[in-house]
Amino acid sequence: MAGILECRNLSFTYKTRDLPSIANIDLKIEAGDFILCTGPTGCGKSTLLKAFNGLIPHEISGTICGSMLVRGVNSLDSSVAELSRTVGLMFQNPDDQIFSTTVVDEVGFALENMGMEQGAIRERVSETLAWVGLAGREQGSVHALSGGERQRLALAAVLAVRPRMLALDEPISQMDPRGAMELLQVLQKLNQELGITLVVVEHRLHEVMPLCQHVLVMEEGSIVWKGTRREAFRDPDVFLRMGLRIPQTVHICHGLGVVAASATVEDAVHNIRKAYPNCGSVVKTAAKIIPIAQANSGVDIRGLEFRYDPKGRKILDGINLSIPRGQFVALMGNNGAGKSTLLHHICGLQQAQTGQVTVNGQAVKALDRRVGMVMQNPDLMLFNATVEEEITFGLRHGGGRGQAASDWRPLLERIGLAGLEERFPLALSQGQRVRVAIASLLVCRPDILLLDEPTTGQDLGHIDDIIVLLQEYTACGGTVIFCTHDTEVAARYAERVIVMTAGGVVADAPPRDVFSREDVLRSAGLRAPAALRVSRELYGGCALCVEEVVGYVQQASMGSNAC
Amino acid sequence: MYNRQVWEATPADTPVHRLDVRTKLALLAAIVIFAVGLEGPRPLFLLFLLSLGFHVVARSSVERWKILIIFLLVGIWGAMVSQALFYNQEPRTMIACLLSPTTPWIGELTGGIFVYREGLEHGAVQALRSGIMLACGLLICWTTDPRQLLQCFLHWKMPYPIAFMLITSLRFLPVIFEETAIVLTAQRLRGFEPLRTLSPIRWVRTAFYVLFPILARALRRAATLALSVESRGFGRCGHRSGMAAWPVVERFACLTVFTGITAGAVLKTLYSLQFNGIVYFPGLRGVYDFMAVWL
């Protein structure tokens, strides 16, 4: 393969910082490669991508050392416009980069900037839209597209100029599983059929890793590990050490000391069986199913119906739920299933049109103080000048329920933010911002805590921090209901999973039950966690997490699980 | 919950949507000149009705009509009340006394507060002017692709940074409205009721509380958009595709309107010369009468 891009001892320091964001990067990217670049938040991944198409240093001020050659030409000698014809750059959130109101205008924008004729633009736009699965949508409004479609439109807008290389900055981090899968399929097709070189920066390794050819791991501005996907599967320690989330199949193999050749369930099962021939001889589920308690109800919902438009479809259609105090509940389903609307009813942001919602036996009032809610984007919940002001905001506005004014300090220590009291909340890292938002509600000790996608865009370390905090809260009698698309998180941590589709509840059971029902998962656009699928294939079990499978196989191979 | 699409340009197949962006901007300029130049309430009212008529033709949704009406009513109320109370031209006719000059201390200090009829009329004229501009401005925002506006501004040699800044603000205005609603909801969920108070100090504090997260996100988002368009080859230099040809009929219509504006300006100058006793043409008496009534 010929080299398309080469970094030689490349370093870059932003004008506003003292230390380099990328340091001494030596990297050669071959044409047609598919590279996954990962690492902890703030390790310089996005900076590196911006250097690829010349935004650094042409548009972003700072000090650059070393050189970068794009198809043999030094990037310093080319403009961003010229470099963007070779390297297309796509950002995380399509809503931040889509500029036009119609699909055709958005895709044609880059071509107009190249000076292409209108007739040729129309032809190129149609061809590009076909590549990303949006054929025939030329005249459609960008507002009419789903989240996944908008991301594919953003991809088409970059792809229109036919770049030889695409650099994508966390393209699936905000997407639901269905949207992410659609986008990844398109990327794979572009790489395999058109030979477009791909560099994808992503935290969701478990979804991208199985598709890529090479993996780069960055830490503190440097590349600390690079190798093929196969090598990454063989040696996942570097990923685990950084709290990065590898495919569960690889994680299981690693835990069992088995070399994973790929991330597929079939390969994992095959390799484990070879190493542990006795593990499949016992047909027994890993743990018994715990029935859902119905007593001591925290939230009670009876016959809840709601529609935004009196003539429109029902957003909530006859919801009946009883959620006891102290329970940790995951609310799942595809976009538009009614999850957020249900949360809004529980916290009193929306009033029931039909039916009733009660908390601790009393009907929910508008903006009920017994219920706290963390919104999908916690940044919009941080509006004070310091962390201390943020956390005590609810207490100062009558939200405290008998706490002393100093009660928030131990909480701050528990969430690992001690010493940051005087910091500006919006200047904290993403994981810290989420924890501040949660703590600002927990300090008021609500009976119920609702969280809308709290783990989206977070790496495994941050997810664990959040979950520990929430588990402490439920241990003290609080109830947590969180919306999520992440089946691995729901399976691992939730006591109960409620699946919604088209405004109705289609499954409500412990995770083991719910994730065993393929029909339900398919209808909600979900997929059972790989750990469960491995355990099912391997020994007819229904394990919910990696440790469960590893523990079971090890015990079975020693004979302790034999009936 | 809040519907951000109400604020965003939406493609549709109406005569207003089909107009070339240059025609829209030229007509907007013409209407603004008319609104500033006209002084009589009757022609201004007709122009105001015309600007609302454009919304009918563009099939603006019920939500958009609600927004338009709220803005217009607030504008009319503000202009009329302020002018009615603070009108300082002569002659002026007092129609109500809100605070007598003989009221101890405050009456002596202010000289009394009165409502003036001429102030109300002047306020109504000002309100019509701002209403016309508001209605036409919103119409363009709701029916025109921001990218086309940007191309048009650059085509007309507007400096790149100003054009991009203008369009970015238009592009993000709906998002900022949406996020403001979310921030206010988040505050209410935490026991802060910013809108249920008459305390100005609390309003100021609320404004800061809202501004922090909104500005932080708006800055990040604007930076991303700028990088995104730059990395798609858009920038200060470089050869772009020419805009599609300006339809001849539309161009002719704009030319006619601007010829009308020029003619109106000439007539107004003649009327002004006559009114101030500088030059009088007996043959133009009919024109002077028309000008006195309509312009």
CB contact under 8 A, B186 and A102: no
> What is residue B2's predicted lDDT score, i.e. its pLDDT?
56
Domains of chain A: residue spans and CATH:
3-232 (3.40.50.300), 247-280+511-563 (no CATH), 297-510 (3.40.50.300)
pLDDT higher than threshold 70 for residue A206? yes
Long-range contacts of residues B47-54, Cβ cutoff 8 Å, at least 24 apart: B47/B128, B47/B132, B48/B128, B48/B131, B48/B132, B48/B135, B51/B131, B51/B132, B51/B135, B51/B136, B51/B139, B52/B135, B54/B16, B54/B135, B54/B136, B54/B139
> What is residue A288's predicted lDDT score, i.e. its pLDDT?
44
**Alpha-helix residue ranges (DSSP H) falling in chain B:** 15-18, 21-37, 41-57, 62-86, 106-110, 117-143, 146-155, 160-189, 200-230, 248-275, 285-294
Note the pLDDT tens digit of each residue in B71-86.
999 999 999 999 999 8
B31 CB contacts (<8 Å, ≥6 apart)? B47, B51, B132, B133, B136
Joined tokens for residue A170: 């966390």
Range among A286-290, A362-366, A531-535, B95-99 rated most confident = A531-535
Joined tokens for residue A401: 């329920």
CB contact under 8 A, A141 and B171: no
Q: What gap in Å lies between CA A106 and CA A111, rounded to an integer?
A: 10
Chain B contact present for A81, CB below 8 A: yes
Mean residue pLDDT across chain A: 86
Bond preceding residue B91 cis, omega within 30 of 0: yes
Is the backbone of residue B252 left (phi > 0), alpha (psi -120 to 50) or beta?
alpha
Higher pLDDT pick, B201 / B274? B274
Interface contacts (A, B; CB < 8 Å): 163
Q: What gap in Å lies between CA A204 and CA B44, rounded to an integer?
A: 60
> Residue B237 gets which letter from DSSP?
S
Say how many C-beta atoms besides its own lie within 10 A of residue A361's C-beta: 8
State the complex-level ipTM. Answer: 0.77
Among candidate residues A505, A104, A547, the one with its CA nearest the CA of residue A322: A505
Find the distance separating the first CA and the last CA of chain A, reported in whole Å: 55
Whats the size of chain A, residue-wise? 563
Q: Which of B213, B225, B227 sits opposite A379 (nearest CB)?
A: B213
Range among A159-168, A441-450, B170-179, B199-208 rated most confident = A159-168
Chain B contact present for A383, CB below 8 A: yes
Note the pLDDT tens digit of each residue in A59-98.
888 999 999 999 888 888 888 888 888 999 998 888 888 8
Q: What gap in Å lies between CA A49 and CA B228, rounded to an integer?
A: 12
Q: Which of A59, A88, A441 sits opposite B227 (nearest CB)?
A: A59
CB contact under 8 A, B235 and A397: no
Q: Quick one: average pLDDT of A190-197?
A: 93
β-pair partners for A316 = A306
Residues of B in contact with A398 (CB under 8 A): 191
Q: Which of residues 123-152 of B touch A (CB under 8 A)?
A: 145-148, 151
- Provide Rg for chain B, Cα atoms: 24
Find the distance separating the first CA and the last CA of chain B, reported in whole Å: 46
DSSP per-residue letters across A57-118:
HHTS-EEEEEEEEETTEEGGGS-HHHHTTTEEEE-S-HHHH---SBHHHHHHHHHHHTT--H
> What is residue A457's predicted lDDT score, i.e. its pLDDT?
67
> Residue A32 gets which letter from DSSP?
T
Contact assessment for residue A172 and residue A181, using Cβ atoms and an 8 Å cutoff: no
> What is residue A84's predicted lDDT score, i.e. its pLDDT?
87
> What is residue A66's predicted lDDT score, i.e. its pLDDT?
92
Nearest-Cα distance to chain A for B64, in Å, is: 16
> What is residue B268's predicted lDDT score, i.e. its pLDDT?
85
Long-range contacts of residues A472-478, Cβ cutoff 8 Å, at least 24 apart: A472/A414, A473/A442, A473/A449, A474/A326, A474/A327, A474/A328, A475/A326, A477/A325, A477/A326, A478/A325, A478/A326, A478/A442, A478/A445, A478/A446, A478/A447, A478/A448, A478/A449
Nearest-Cα distance to chain A for B132, in Å, is: 25
Nearest-Cα distance to chain B for A404, in Å, is: 17
Q: What gap in Å lies between CA A151 and CA B219, rounded to an integer?
A: 21
* Cα angle: A207, vertex A210, A215; to 5 degrees: 95
Q: What gap in Å lies between CA A73 and CA B24, rounded to an integer?
A: 44
Integer CA distances (angstroms), A554 to A236, A277, A458, B5, in order: 20, 11, 31, 56
Q: What percent of the residues of chain A are helix, what percent strand, and what percent coil, each to the nearest 5?
A: 40, 20, 40
Among candidate residues B148, B262, B3, B208, the one with its CA nearest the CA of residue A312: B3
Contact assessment for residue A31 and residue A9, using Cβ atoms and an 8 Å cutoff: no
Q: Quick one: average pLDDT of A534-557?
A: 90
- Does this model's pTM top 0.80? My answer is no
CB contact under 8 A, A143 and B227: no
Q: Which of A84, A117, A139 sits opposite B233 (nearest CB)?
A: A84
Nearest-Cα distance to chain B for A267, in Å, is: 40
Strand pairing category for B94-99 and B113-116: antiparallel
A113 CB contacts (<8 Å, ≥6 apart)? A81, B232, B233, B234, B235, B238, B240, B241
Say how many C-beta atoms besides its own lie within 10 A of residue A215's C-beta: 24
Q: What gap in Å lies between CA A421 and CA A530, rounded to an integer?
A: 40
Q: Which of B11, B171, B191 sits opposite A394 (nearest CB)?
A: B191
Q: Which of B186, B216, B230 sits opposite A59 (nearest CB)?
A: B230
Residues of A in contact with B173 (CB under 8 A): none
Integer CA distances (angstroms), B3 to A145, A260, A518, in order: 15, 48, 35
Q: Is the dihedral of CA A387, A390, A394, A397 positive or negative?
A: positive
Q: How confident is the model at residue A127 (pLDDT cuts 50, 70, 90)?
A: very high
Residues of A in contact with B240 (CB under 8 A): 112-113, 115
Give the H or E element holding residue A464. helix A460-475
Q: What gap in Å lies between CA A452 and CA A482, rounded to an integer?
A: 6
β-pair partners for A37 = A201, A216
Give the H or E element holding residue A3. strand A3-14
Say how many C-beta atoms besides its own lie within 10 A of residue B95's C-beta: 13
pLDDT higher than threshold 80 for residue A453? yes
Nearest C-alpha in B relative to A84? B231
Q: Which of residues 155-194 of A touch B (CB under 8 A)?
A: 157-158, 161
Among candidate residues B75, B52, B78, the one with its CA nearest the CA of residue B65: B52
A160 CB contacts (<8 Å, ≥6 apart)? A107, A108, A110, A111, A124, A125, A128
Note the pLDDT tens digit of each residue in A246-278.
899 999 999 999 988 888 999 999 999 999 887
Q: Quick one: average pLDDT of A504-532?
A: 90
* Cα angle: A70, vertex A76, A80; to 5 degrees: 75
Q: What gap in Å lies between CA A45 and CA A171, rounded to an integer?
A: 13
Chain A contact present for B199, CB below 8 A: no
Q: Is the dihedral of CA A262, A265, A267, A268 positive or negative?
A: positive
Q: What gap in Å lies between CA A412 and CA A321, rounded to an integer?
A: 33
β-pair partners for A7 = A27, A68
Q: Testing the interface with B: which of A113, A423, A424 to mutate, by most B Cβ within 10 A?
A: A113
Q: What is the 3-state secondary structure (H, E, C) of A488-501?
A: HHHHHHCCEEEEEE
pLDDT higher than threshold 80 for residue A290? no
CB contact under 8 A, A101 and B5: no
Joined tokens for residue A561: 């699980």
Say how many C-beta atoms besides its own lie within 10 A of residue B24's C-beta: 23
Chain A contact present for B239, CB below 8 A: yes
Among candidate residues A157, A17, A166, the one with its CA nearest the CA of residue A96: A157
Q: How confident is the model at residue A16 (pLDDT cuts 50, 70, 90)?
A: confident
Range among A22-31, A386-395, B165-174 rated most confident = A22-31
Q: What gap in Å lies between CA A167 and CA A159, rounded to an integer?
A: 11
Q: How confident is the model at residue A410 (pLDDT cuts 50, 70, 90)?
A: confident
Contact assessment for residue A103 and residue A149, using Cβ atoms and an 8 Å cutoff: no
Q: Quick one: average pLDDT of A337-361?
A: 88
pLDDT higher than threshold 80 for residue A488? yes
Q: Which of residues 121-140 of A touch B (CB under 8 A)?
A: 121, 139
> What is residue A395's predicted lDDT score, i.e. its pLDDT?
81
Note the pLDDT tens digit of each residue in B184-236.
888 877 777 666 666 777 777 777 777 878 888 788 888 888 888 888 887 65
β-pair partners for A226 = A216
Give the H or E element holding residue A165. strand A165-169
Residues of B in contact with A139 (CB under 8 A): 11
Long-range contacts of residues A512-521, Cβ cutoff 8 Å, at least 24 apart: A512/A285, A512/A287, A512/A289, A512/A542, A512/A544, A513/A289, A515/A487, A515/A491, A515/A542, A515/A544, A516/A542, A521/A487
Q: Which of residues 34-53 of B touch A (CB under 8 A)?
A: none
Integer CA distances (angstroms), B82 to B76, B79, B93, B114, B289, in order: 10, 5, 16, 11, 32
Instruction: Tell me the one-letter amino acid at A445.
Output: R
pLDDT higher than threshold 80 for residue A283? no
Note the pLDDT tens digit of each residue in B119-157.
999 999 999 999 999 999 999 989 998 878 888 888 888
* Cα angle: B20, vertex B22, B25; to 5 degrees: 115
The SS3 call for residue A253 is: helix
